[in-house]
Each structure stands twice: as C-alpha cells, then as structure tokens.
Chains A and B, each alone.
Chain A
Amino acid sequence: MFNDFSFQGEGFIKIDPRTKMIIFILCSIAALRESRTLFQGLLFFFTFALLINGKQFIFAIKMLILYGVMIGIDLLVMMFCLPEALMILLMGIRVFRMFLPVMMAFAIIIKTTRVSEFLAAFDKMHVPEEITIPFSVMFRFFPTIGEEWDNIQNAMKFRGFALTFKNIITRPAFVYECSIVPLLSDTVLIADELSAASLCRGLGANTKRTSLVEVRMGVFDYMLIGFAIWLNIMSYTAY
C-alpha cells in the first residue's frame, strides 16, 4: 500500500526539490481556499501534469479516474436532486476531492526526489543539519513503514484478527493496538540501526558536505512557482 511511496525515477524535465516543496505548500493553501469547481479542476490538472512529467503514469491515471468518478457522482446528484441523507455522502466526496491535488503534490515530492537531492537543496537554503537530517530520514522512512505495515497485516491475518471490516467494527481498539504497537517498536529498531549505519559513514561531520547531484532552479521552476502563485491569487478574486 505504501510500497511505491519512495523514489521511483526522474521526470522528463527535472524540477528542483525546493520548487516541489513550494508547489506543495501553495497547492495546499489554494485547495483549502478554493471552492469553485472550475478552479479546483485547474488545480487538479496542474498537479496531474506534474505527475505525468514525473513519469508517474499509472498513479496519475488512477487519480484521473478517481477524480472523474467523483465529478460524475456530483453531477448525478445535482441532476436528480437526491434525498438529504445522500448529501452527507456527497459532502464527504467533495472534501476528498478538494484534498486530492494536495495528495498528488505530495506524491510528486516523494516519488521523484532522491534523499541526496533533499540534502543538497536544504544545504543551498542554508538550513541547519539539525533540521535537514531528520527531514531526509523521514522521507527514507515512508517505504520502510510500508513494508513493515504489510508484514504486520499478513501476520494479523494468520492470527485471526486481520484488519477486516468486521473486526474494525466489533473490536476497533484491539485491532488498532495490534497494528500500531509492533509498527512502532519495529520502526524504532530500524531507526536505531539506520542512524548507527549513517554515523559510520561520516554523516554529521563538521566539514561542508559536497553533493554529486546538482540542484539548480531553472526557468521551468520559476514558471511553475509563478503558476502556483497565480492560482492562489485567483482564489482571492471575487465570486
């Protein structure tokens, strides 16, 4: 489930990690402010295009279909004026639709950026190591947590308390505890070994780090940021 939340490869046009982070923040703000379907769609297609640029075709198409289905439901409900009870469901779908571009912008960061690019970008921004290192470890950790999660879920199936709909309803606290406790204890162990290994490779030395991967803001980066800012400005315009 989380397994593909790791670096998968570079995109067609390389985007600076700083740009990706700025776009993520701007998209989040715009997504929360904007309620007009047209602009929401614009935001969606912006992040969709970035995913395509990042060669995340399958993920992008999944998101497109999901978005299409949600718009479809919305239209159907509008057309047939369905009862009140269904409106709550519709609200849920709309909120989810609002957050979809944010999720996609986050996926762009994780799937198309190397840990070393993060280190280099933070270094250029003169962010101190106390922030850089934990942050990059966090990105290193997503896929690891994914692997652990899958293993735990498998083990729970064997033991007879799988994370099924029935179990979630009848004994939520118990299945929650069984999923989370081993996950925590295990990730703590992994983090411990991971830090030991990275210290043995000289991380945190007082000399200035060099980096083989180059990060540089190009024209394309400024264009993307410009567009994201424009989307935000548009959200302030009159209705």
Chain B
Amino acid sequence: MITFNKVSFSYNQESTLNNQVLSDFNLDIKTGQVIVITGESGCGKTTVGRLINGLSPKYYQGILEGEIEVCGMHPNMQELYDTAKVVGSIFQNPRTQFFNVDTTSEITFACENQGMDIQLIKEKLEEVVTDFKIEDLLDRSIFELSGGQKQKIACCSIAVADSKVIVMDEPSSNLDLQGIDDLKGVIEKWKAQGKTLVIAEHRLYYLKDVADLVLVMKDGVINKIIDKSMMNHLTIDEMQKMGLRSFSIEEAFGGSINRRQIFRKSEAGYHISKMKFSYGKFAEAIDIEDISLEAGKITALVGFNGAGKTTFAKCLCGLNKKSKDKILKGKTRVSKADRIKDSFLVMQDVNTELFADSVLGEVMLSLREKYGKAFDESIHEKEAVDILRLMDLDGIKDRHPISLSGGQKQRVAIASAIAADKQLIILDEPTSGLDYKHMVEVGNVMKLLADMGKTILVITHDIELILSTVDNVICLEKGKVVDCYELTDVTKHKLYDFFYRVTRCTRSDDFTRDKVASINKVEEYYERKKVTN
C-alpha cells in the first residue's frame, strides 16, 4: 500500500547528511494497517506524514531522494489535488485546518473540490452524520466549537471523501480525555473499514488497542519497532528511557508519587473567595466559593473542556473585567489591576506573547518596565543574562524568538515573567503535544519557579505531568470547584476517579441522546428515499 524505498529528505536546498530530516528511510505498510510513528520532537515523524500526503516536497519544499509509492501513485511527482483523492489528512491544530467557517461546508469541502455530483455529496453527508452522530454540530460556526468537536468535524470531512489512506499529525494534542476517547472510536471504526492509517503521535495509551505497529524514530531513521506483544511488556521505565510516553494510564498511576521538598514558604499565597462570572444571561460560568493557592507550590487545575478552566484563569489574573471576586494575597486584598501586574499567563499559543527581536531583548523589555526610569541597559543586561541562564536559554540569547521551538518559546515567556518579578504564574496546557522528555523539562521549570517561592497554577489534561510534578489538585466542573486536595499516594485514586468518572457519565449521556437523534435521522432519510423511488 505505502512503500518508502531509501528515502532521504531535507528541507534545505542542499541535501547533506547533517540537515536531512529523513535519511535512508525504508517503510512498508500493508493495506488496512494502523501504524503509529512516535519519537522525540524533530525526529522526522511529521515529515513522513507530509511525504505521504504530498505536502513535502510539493508545498514544504526540499530535496527528496529515493522512491515513495502510495496506492500505486507517486505523491512527489503529481499534483496535490490528485493525491488528495486517495489520502486524507488530519492536522495537529484544529484552528488552522478549516478552510470554511461553518461546519457543514467544511465536511463537504473535499467532495466539492473534486467536483462530485451534488446528490452524491448529500447522500454521503447523511451517511457520515448518522455514522458519527453529529446532528447537533451541523451548520454551526467553527469558532464556537470546542477542540474535540473541531477534531470530530475534521474526521468527518475525511470520512465523506472516502480516502483509502489517512494521515494524522498529532491529532490528540488539543483534546481532553473525552475527546481522545471519541478519536479512538473513530480510528477503530476506520480500521474496521479497512482503511490504512498512519498516525504521528506522542500520546500512545489510546492507540495501544488499535495500533498494529509502533515505530519509534530517532534522527530520521526508525530506531525501534514495537509490535503488539511488545506493547504489553514494555515497562514505564523502559519507555521513559526512550523518551516516550507510556502505553497505559493505569500503569502511570501505579508508580508512587515523589513529594517535592518545599524550600520556602515565606511568600504569601492567594486566597480566592466568592468569585462569580457569567457570560451574559446564561448560567454562571464561574462560581467559586472559597479556594486557596499556596505560594511555593504547584497547583493543577483539572476539568474537562468547557468546565471553565481558562475562564477561571483569566478571572484570577484580572484580565476578566466583569468578574466579581474577593482575592486576598496574604492578608491584603488585591484589585484586578494589581493582579495583572503581579501575574503572568503562559498561553497555549505562546507566539502572541513575544514582542522583542531577540531572546535577550525579550527579558530586557520586562526589566525596562520593572525599573522604569532607573533602567540602565549596561547594568541590567547582567541580570537578564542571569535569568536566561536559569532558564537554560543563555546559549540562544541572540536568536529571534520566532525561530525557536515551541518549548523554547515557552521558556522565553517564563523568563520574561521572572524578570518582571511576577508572583503568580499560570500555564495553560503547557505540555500539549510534547514528548516525554520535553514534558519533564516543562515540569522541571515549574518546580524551579515554585522553589523561587512563586505561586504556580497549571491548567492541564496531561496525567503524566500532574503525577510527576504537581503538589495540589483542584477539580473544576461546570465552573464549580468539586474537589481540592494535596496529591499523595493516598489521594491519587481521587484524580483517577475524577478523570474516568466524568468520561463515563458524560459519554453515556451523549450516547443516549445521539442514538435517538440518529435513529430519527435514519428514518427521515428512508422516508425521503421512498418518496423519490
């Protein structure tokens, strides 16, 4: 079905051994197989996907050697729209993979581009709608959908086009556990239909049951092939040594939690009481009675998409002007304006948080704001360099922030927060789409910040991150705090229960509703068929 024969690829115009993303890469995938490609960031797994759907070298240009064959075609030698008839692609970022702004047009987009007959498109649409149970998502604006819903629409648009081969590039990185569960269902369905799937992914636990082979890549070559039997035998330690995430969440919960030594407790933490916020006339989006964030500790805020985590974070750091709250820092009440000065939100998309033209400049910007008139470039440059050294960025201090990797950008943003002497640092999904090694790095940065006495709040779905770094956990559900505890070996089952209970109960509700809706839809469809016949 898909063969790579001695393929080398380089994004530069001159191909040397040093800049090759893939070198002498061989692969043979049979029809109906589900292949998962994993490995550290930059190992070339995304490029394998791009070579299959033709984006490299047709769109992302580079030098290709060797031979690629997909369904008897050569994607590197034909137009992209011809490859698109056979290969469907799902990308990492749901924000940028939609051409349309409404869901229905997006689903039928590929068919329309192929010039398919309208009647046929309609039939296929009906089929997919009942198949994926998405009646309630039809004809909506994509901007009001959650990440999981967007990814579902992306899957539907592939299903409509009937692609034989499906390439996915980190499809789970913006999903919560429920969304991942849905995605797994879709992958199982496609596997049953005999489609060939190539999935580049860091999170492996949800693919364990469906994957035929897991290929571990390193520096552009396949380093290790894990087959079905090996997946069950590999221990967490062995996986972590390879820089990979674990195959089973249960196993991750099995390890014991290393309590972090708390060095300093001098700084005052935050105490939030009576926080209320609502979007217009709807029910309260945030309704929090009483909660504390301790200084020098890392607190995880968990909850499912739409639970109000990001909204809570925005209220907490004072961005949300309309929220009502009473927040104490130590014993003094802090206003919204004070909170903005005193806090920093590391957003999921860090690009919008960097302003200067070099890494050093970024930190200097913060220092200039902090010292105001007393700022002196020559004196404070030393302070900036010290901060960069702390964040392990001193080697790249002259690089432009845009040229850095996602993790490095994150650290630059955090460095600027340290320079501005921020006390409350909030991180929104800092490890989505990161491999094990980089996840640990983010965890270490958080620990470092906590040791400096700062209050850390991290919004995350990443169970491995929570288990390895976090001190306290706050569970949020529909804008309310449902639980709040110190994470120890005794309390970790609570976390497990929280994630899985919510998954199960919301899913079952969804299922019954969707089932009724899809039965109605099917009956309606057959009624119409009768009339036309």
- Chain A residues packing against B (C-beta within 8 Å): 3, 6-9, 114-116, 136-137, 139-140, 143-144, 147-148, 151-152, 154-161, 177-178, 181-182, 185-186, 189-190, 193-213
Would A160 and B420 be within 8 Å (CB), given that A115-B99, A151-B349, A199-B80 are in contact?
yes
A202 touches B345 (CB 8 A): no
Q: Nearest A residue to B140 by beta-carbon distance?
A: A9
Q: Which residues of B contact A212 (CB under 8 A)?
A: 104-105, 108, 112, 118, 121-122, 125
Q: A201 contacts which of B58, B115, B157 (Cβ < 8 Å)?
A: B157
Q: Nearest B residue to A212 by beta-carbon distance?
A: B108
Contact flags (1/0) for B491-531 with A, using CB distance below 8 Å?
00000000000000000000000000000000000000000
Q: Which residues of A contact B80 (CB under 8 A)?
A: 199-200, 202, 204
B355 touches A159 (CB 8 A): yes
Most A C-beta atoms less than 10 A away, residue of B87, B110, B112, B416: B112
Within the assembled complex, what's the spacing in Å between the Cα atoms of A158 and B417? 9
Within the assembled complex, what's the spacing in Å between the Cα atoms of A154 and B353? 9
Contact flags (1/0) for B366-379 with A, using CB distance below 8 Å?
10011000000000
- Given A6-B143, A140-B100, A143-B143, 18 more contacts at CB 8 Å? A114-B100, A116-B112, A137-B99, A143-B101, A155-B345, A155-B355, A158-B343, A193-B97, A196-B91, A197-B99, A201-B109, A201-B157, A204-B81, A204-B113, A205-B84, A207-B115, A209-B113, A212-B118
Contact flags (1/0) for B70-107 with A, using CB distance below 8 Å?
00000000011110110111010101111111101100
Within the assembled complex, what's the spacing in Å between the Cα atoms of A195 and B80? 12
B60 within 8 A of A: yes
Within the complex, the shortest CB–CB distance from B40 to chain A, in Å, comes to 22
Most B C-beta atoms less than 10 A away, residue of A154, A158, A212: A158
B114 within 8 A of A: yes
Q: Which residues of B contact A155 (CB under 8 A)?
A: 345, 347, 352-353, 355
Q: Which residues of A contact B345 (CB under 8 A)?
A: 154-155, 158
Would A197 and B115 be within 8 Å (CB), given that A159-B355, A202-B81 are in contact?
no
Within the complex, the shortest CB–CB distance from A39 to chain B, in Å, comes to 35
Within the complex, the shortest CB–CB distance from A62 to chain B, in Å, comes to 14
Q: A194 contacts which of B96, B143, B161 (Cβ < 8 Å)?
A: B96
B84 touches A196 (CB 8 A): no
B116 within 8 A of A: yes
Q: Nearest B residue to A188 by beta-carbon distance?
A: B402
Within the assembled complex, what's the spacing in Å between the Cα atoms of A41 and B260? 69
Q: Which residues of B contact A178 (CB under 8 A)?
A: 355
Within the assembled complex, what's the spacing in Å between the Cα atoms of A207 and B448? 58
Q: A182 contacts which of B108, B109, B354, B369 (Cβ < 8 Å)?
A: B354
Within the assembled complex, what's the spacing in Å between the Cα atoms of A178 and B366? 13
Q: Is the interface of A mostly helix, strand, loop or mixed?
A: helix
B95 touches A151 (CB 8 A): no
B141 touches A7 (CB 8 A): yes
Q: Which residues of B contact A193 (CB under 8 A)?
A: 91, 93, 96-97
Inter-chain residue pair count (beta carbon < 8 A): 180
B452 within 8 A of A: no
Q: Which residues of B contact A201 (CB under 8 A)?
A: 84, 89, 99, 109-110, 113, 157, 161
A196 touches B351 (CB 8 A): no
Q: Nearest B residue to A186 by beta-carbon distance?
A: B351
Q: B95 contacts which of A115, A157, A177, A190 (Cβ < 8 Å)?
A: A190
A157 touches B319 (CB 8 A): yes
Within the complex, the shortest CB–CB distance from B347 to chain A, in Å, comes to 6
Would A151 and B347 be within 8 Å (CB), given that A115-B99, A160-B341, A207-B115 are in contact?
yes
Q: Nearest B residue to A7 by beta-carbon distance?
A: B101
Q: Nearest B residue to A161 by beta-carbon distance?
A: B369
Within the complex, the shortest CB–CB distance from B84 to chain A, in Å, comes to 4
A6 touches B121 (CB 8 A): no
Contact flags (1/0) for B389-430 with A, using CB distance below 8 Å?
000000000000010000000000000110010100000000
A199 touches B101 (CB 8 A): no
Q: B141 contacts which of A6, A152, A185, A209 (Cβ < 8 Å)?
A: A6
Selected A-B contacts with CB under 8 Å, 18 pairs:
A6-B141, A114-B100, A115-B100, A143-B101, A151-B349, A154-B347, A157-B340, A158-B417, A158-B422, A186-B349, A194-B97, A196-B91, A201-B113, A202-B85, A202-B161, A212-B108, A212-B112, A213-B105
